[in-house]
Structure 1
Amino acid sequence: MLGLHASTIRLDDGWVVAAVAVVALALVALVPWRWDAWRHRRTWRSVTTVVAVLGVLVAAGAGVNYLGSFYPTLGSLLGSSGNPGEGTVADIGPDGADLPAALPLLDARSAQGHGSVLHMVFHGPRSGITRDADVYLPAGYTDPAQAAVRYPVVEWLPGFPGEPREVVALFGVTDLVDAAIAEHRMPPAVVLVPDTNGEPRFGHDEECVDASHGALDDTYLTTDLHDWALHTLRVRPEREAWALSGWSSGGYCAMNLALRHPDLYSIAVSQSGYDRTPDDIVTGDLFAGRPDLAAANDVVAHLRDRPAPTAILATAGADEDDEQAALARLRAAAVPPVTLVTHTFPGGGHNQVAVRAQLPPLVDWLGRRLPAPVAPTLPIPDPPS
């Protein structure tokens, strides 16, 4: 397309929305203007009316997409996976196999006080799922003097129908983390941003669960990714050093996965999330009518019946009625050893503007709870006999 890739064509830009709206207005104006001028009046009156209605629908969809950033690029709308590394500085190949080749670039950025976001295609051996993922490594990760240091980890989960570039490029989460680390508001940490849904993205909301007769997303996002990080990166293995965070469906995923896997995670942040999977035209019945599977992925049921020592921050905007109702259910169900903090942001709304405005205090909250990197001490040798 004239040298452009679909993933570089933004759909969430205000100018794009304005242009679509102008075209829609022109199509609407064309109907009465040409009403009696057509040679074949019945045919062309019908055609122009239908086209005008379609134009209005497209303009309305563009406006909704601008507010919610459901499809930030044409590539995400079409479900194409080209240029998946948007917002990243290097591609490290399948499962990060080419990470050593990217180390000089990381060194250069680290010398300037910046961490680096890298793109890879990650294959989960247990789940059998292969998708894109981004990896943020903090400044100093490649410093030879820090070669024994292991870092805490945050898995940041996109909302539906988002992808890693939503978190990295659109919301700028890794930039916020980079700044928080530089300003000592967060300890140096590794951030993993996996694709939670894959492609195609139409009608494909998988909610990060191991669906009945479906994809093993839970296994992919927890066991597979956790094991890969432990074997490939220098990260701390303790549950106290692992956190999950996300927006919208990513917020639900963060809470649900943390409570389902208390052996792996101790912290969860839900930004405008909810407490159970929807059963709608986009998601469908992920559990094939099985109440046991539904209960096993219900955050309120976990808090009430299977509480684990987990620190949870759940937030929503004051104008988000469904999310506020979810917060009330969480507060009513939470019992020790869960530590639940809820917060309502003024105004808000389920859109990218609100997400960006609310993210800085969420990053700071995480920063106060993540443990610092550690360098394992060497065992003291036994004295010679």
Structure 2
Amino acid sequence: MAASARGHRRAPKRSRRSPLRAVALFVISTALVVGSGVAFGYATHHLGKHQVTDDASVVAPPTGPLSDATDDPSATTNSAPGGKPSVPASPRPSLPKATGPGKVTELKVASSDDDWPSRPVFVYRPAVPANVVLPVVYLLHGVPGEPDRIMDAVKAVLDKAFTSGGEQPFIVAAPTGEGTAHNDTEWADAVDGKDMVETYMIKDVIPAVEGKTPRPAGMRAIVGFSMGGYGAANLTLRHPDLFDQFASMAGYFRVDDPDGMFGSDSKIEAANTPDDMVQKAAGKRVLLLEDQQDPDPLIQGEASEFAKRLDDCNCGVDLSWHLEPGGHTYDFVTDSFPKVITFLNQGFTAPAGTTPSAAG
């Protein structure tokens, strides 16, 4: 994608915010000091139909045999991740430095929802021995946007960080979040059952990428730009057992116009509002990066309010919040990603008793 291409910015509809609140949020964003599943429904199938519920715990992701797509990119599976590891996490062991540029492979990941076609997922694997079990980072694009475009924005940054930058290597997987019936999918499940993106991410993408070596939450993170930043926060808070940390680049944390994906049900909207779910961030690591030159102050205001709510919840969130130079473009993603890499590497752990060479 051309570096100047824009990611998603919220539509001008602001029915839930007064101009006074927008100004207040912008002022807060310039002054805030850096702090040290499915109500719309985890989609379930009921008599062949999507049944939307306001309780994400109604359907737990099933377990099943997994093929290791990170070692064999041709393999895909529709099994879901197996949940928390049976052993506690420990500090991450030192991993070998990448010997050269990483390789990006396109996977075609089938959806367990018959109404959704197979979608591409672009997987970056560093140039380290194939038997090394690496953390996995899911990278979510904005809209308009595609997974290959956001991968293009970070690929050279990853290569430099892992070969000469002193950073520990990890896998990056960029799935497709574009809808067939909705323009802004929010990386969520639509109340009308037509774009079930959250279900696809949790039930299809993660198992296809991680294969026979499902990672514990301490070896899995989610990062997004713009709409993807919202998705990273929302998916983490809706599935806190799957992710220990997330990062948002120019994201937002409350959907201004939920009718497209969530309908008019206030319970469904609330269950997809990260601003109102901060208690579920207990023990998580959170990185918020915002662009200083964004013409919409509500982008920065969203992050400052979310950061304040995380700080005020007193629930043990490891929070970093930064205003960075740049506008709402993929240049911002490229320029910001070194911070993301460092932040994630500071938080990754590994299952107790494993070594860097332990293949799954």
Q: When the two structures are superposed, what TM-score results if normalisation uses the length of structure 1?
A: 0.62
How much has 1:306 moved relative to structure 2? 3.3
Change (3 A) 1:113 1:371: farther
Change (3 A) 1:322 1:174: same
Give the Cα separation in 2 of the matches to 1:195 and 1:185: 30
Q: Which residue among 188, 193, 196 is the counterpart of 1:209?
A: 188
Change (3 A) 1:213 1:240: same
How much has 1:349 moved relative to structure 2? 1.8
Please identify the structure whose Cα radius of gyration is greater: 1
Local SS of the residue matching 2:191? coil
1:323 partner amino acid: I
Give the Cα separation in 1 of the matches to 2:293 and 2:356: 47
Q: Which residue among 142, 162, 172 is the counterpart of 1:181?
A: 162
How much has 1:168 moved relative to structure 2? 1.7
Contact 1:127 1:219 in 2 (8 A): no
Give the Cα separation in 2 of the matches to 1:266 and 1:111: 25
1:160 partner amino acid: V
Give the Cα separation in 1 of the matches to 2:102 and 2:5: 30
Q: Deviations over 1:74-133 (max 9, x none)?
A: xxxxxxxxxxxxxxxxx955738xxxxxxxxxxxxx995232110021113268632111
Give the Cα separation in 1 of the matches to 2:170 and 2:339: 17
1:255 partner amino acid: A
Equivalent residues in 2 for 1:59-98, closer than 5 Å: 66-68=4-6, 92-93=73-74, 95=76
Q: Which runs of 5+ in 1 are unaligned?
A: 1-9, 14-65, 71-90, 97-109, 379-385
Q: Which residue among 111, 118, 129 is the counterpart of 1:124?
A: 111
Aligned to 2:260: 285
Equivalent residues in 2 for 1:134-213, closer than 5 Å: 134-142=122-130, 147=131, 149-169=132-152, 171=153, 173-183=154-164, 185-198=166-179, 204-213=183-192
Q: Which residue among 334, 338, 343 is the counterpart of 2:322?
A: 343
User: Quick check: 1:265 aligned with 2:203?
Assistant: no
1:310 partner amino acid: K
Change (3 A) 1:318 1:370: same
Contact 1:152 1:241 in 2 (8 A): yes
Change (3 A) 1:67 1:231: closer
Q: Which residue among 189, 192, 203 is the counterpart of 1:223?
A: 203
Local SS of the residue matching 2:254? coil
Give the Cα separation in 2 of the matches to 1:307 and 1:372: 20
Q: Which residue among 324, 327, 331 is the counterpart of 1:353?
A: 331
User: Quick check: 1:312 aligned with 2:286?
Assistant: yes
Give the Cα separation in 2 of the matches to 1:134 and 1:206: 19
Change (3 A) 1:249 1:198: same
Local SS of the residue matching 2:133? coil
Query: What percentage of residue pairs aligned between the two structures are identical?
Result: 28
Aligned to 1:86: none
Aligned to 2:41: none
Local SS of the residue matching 1:286? helix
Q: Deviations over 1:322-368 (max 9, x none)?
A: 1211122112211223222110113x221233332222222222232
Q: Which residue among 341, 348, 351 is the counterpart of 1:370?
A: 348
1:190 partner amino acid: I
Contact 1:176 1:363 in 2 (8 A): no
Give the Cα separation in 1 of the matches to 2:251 and 2:114: 25
Q: Deviations over 1:129-176 (max 9, x none)?
A: 32111111121242xxxx3x321110011111211111122x1x1321
Q: Which residue among 228, 233, 246 is the counterpart of 2:224?
A: 246
Aligned to 2:18: none
1:285 partner amino acid: G
Change (3 A) 1:111 1:245: closer
Q: When the two structures are superposed, what TM-score results if normalisation uses the length of structure 2?
A: 0.66
- The total of aligned residue pairs comes to 268
Aligned to 1:324: 300
Q: Deviations over 1:188-247 (max 9, x none)?
A: 2111110111558xx611011111013211111123222223435x45x21111100011
Change (3 A) 1:111 1:290: closer
For the aligned residues, what is the CA RMSD? Answer: 3.0
Give the Cα separation in 2 of the matches to 1:271 and 1:312: 11
Contact 1:316 1:345 in 2 (8 A): yes
Greater relative CO (CA pairs within 8 A, separation 6+): 2
